[in-house]
Amino acid sequence: MMKKLFIGGVLLLSTAFAASAFAAQPEAPADGIKMNRMSKVVIFNHSTHKDIKCTDCHHPVDGKEDFRSCATAGCHDNFDKKDKSVNSLYQAVHKAKDAKFKTCVACHVATAGDDKEKKKELAGCAKSKCHP
Ligand code: HEC
Ligand code: HEC
């Protein structure tokens, strides 16, 4: 009897731990997010990126996990295509080399590899999956 109670207690505790660990992470929102801060709108779907770790895109800020949108004030809130600072939304999305975190284009280029058609499809400025 005591043993059963003990095991029950341990199970309860570990469930509580698991629940609190998950509580910090929000649900990924529904598909069809319009990224429309710049001239070309991109529709982003979490479902097509579900095998990628959330934190590969939602990178930590000041060492803390952060799920706010890219263009949150104080983050990538400069919408001038020519801006090259860390605040540049264009760079956060397109920078293909030496980016601190995985950008859309850097990963899409890597995903396409040597496949030229796939590269056009995933990293093209027009007639692509990003910019139809
Ligand atoms: C491939 C990159 C990528 C991955 C992986 C990813 N997300 Fe996102 N997420 C985005 C983008 C892009 C947006 C839209 C941001 C914007 O509107 O600026 C977004 C938006 C969100 C938002 C809404 C933010 C807001 O305040 O508007 C939440 C919450 C979120 N994601 C949670 C998650 C979770 C949880 C996971 C993992 C299960 C995840 N995301 C995986 C790219 C990603
Ligand atoms: C770490 C890798 C990775 C990152 C980062 C990433 N993607 Fe993708 N993305 C993929 C893969 C893999 C596919 C599916 C490719 C295929 O068709 O085989 C994809 C497909 C897509 C598609 C076409 C499918 C659909 O849902 O319409 C769009 C649009 C897209 N990504 C937008 C984005 C945007 C916008 C970002 C940045 C906010 C982003 N991706 C970041 C890996 C990534």
- pLDDT tens, position by position, 66-88: 999 999 999 999 999 999 999 99
CB 41 within 8 A of CB 34: yes
Which residue out of 52, 58, 78 has the highest number of ligand 1 atoms within 8 Å of its CB and is therefore the one to mutate?
58
Q: Which amino acid is at 24?
A: A
- pLDDT tens, position by position, 97-111: 989 999 999 999 999
* Mean pLDDT along residues 24-33: 92
Ligand 2 site: residues with CB under 6 angstroms?
42, 44-45, 48-49, 52, 56-57, 93, 102, 104, 107-108, 111, 122, 129-130
pLDDT of residue 25: 82
Looking at ligand 2, which residue's alpha carbon is closest to its atom 14? Answer: 48
Q: How far is the CA of 15 from the centre of ligand 1 (A)?
A: 26
Q: Which residues contact 43 (CB under 8 A, 6 or more apart)?
A: 32, 33, 34, 35
